[in-house]
Amino acid sequence: MARTATLAHRSEILDDHATDSNHKKAVSMVSSLCRSYLHATDMLEHAKGYYQKLTEEAGVTAVEMWTDDILKAENARRKDVTVMDIYAAKMPNNHQMPVSGSSIPPSNSWIEHSLGVEEKQCVKISIEFILHTRFI
């Protein structure tokens, strides 16, 4: 409809459409925010419970050490970004056991397996494409 209109009318149509769309978003935003707020308050209670259990199980000394490490990392991160590695997940050594006699840890073996599958799929697709184009 906007293509056959004059330039001024086209601009007005598109402006009305954008204004209407923005108005609908603003009106529905209230109910969406209310639902999100209720969900967030519910999750806050669960998170507080989990945090309380975690800090009780970890002990005061560990929590103080973690807090100190975080503060040091936050203060030093502008000079050395590697201090932020304390946030990285660390897998215990007992989970680094080799898979079926190989010396590759499980986390690396499934990645290698996935890459191998992907390479085979690429080769298969290439062969199918060559055969398809050859016989057309």
* Cα 90 to chain centroid, rounded: 19
The residues spanned by each domain of the chain are 1-58, 59-90, 93-136
Q: Is the pLDDT of residue 129 over 80?
A: no
More confident site: 51 or 102: 51
How does DSSP classify residue 127? H
Average pLDDT over residues 24-36: 86
Structure pTM? 0.38
Instruction: Name the pLDDT band for 10 (thresholds 50, 70, 90).
Output: confident
Q: Is the pLDDT of residue 100 over 80?
A: no
What's the pLDDT score for residue 105? 59
Cα radius of gyration rounded to whole Å, the chain = 29
135 three-state secondary structure: coil
Cβ–Cβ under 8 Å, residues 107 and 91: yes
The CA distance from 114 to 120, in Å, is 10
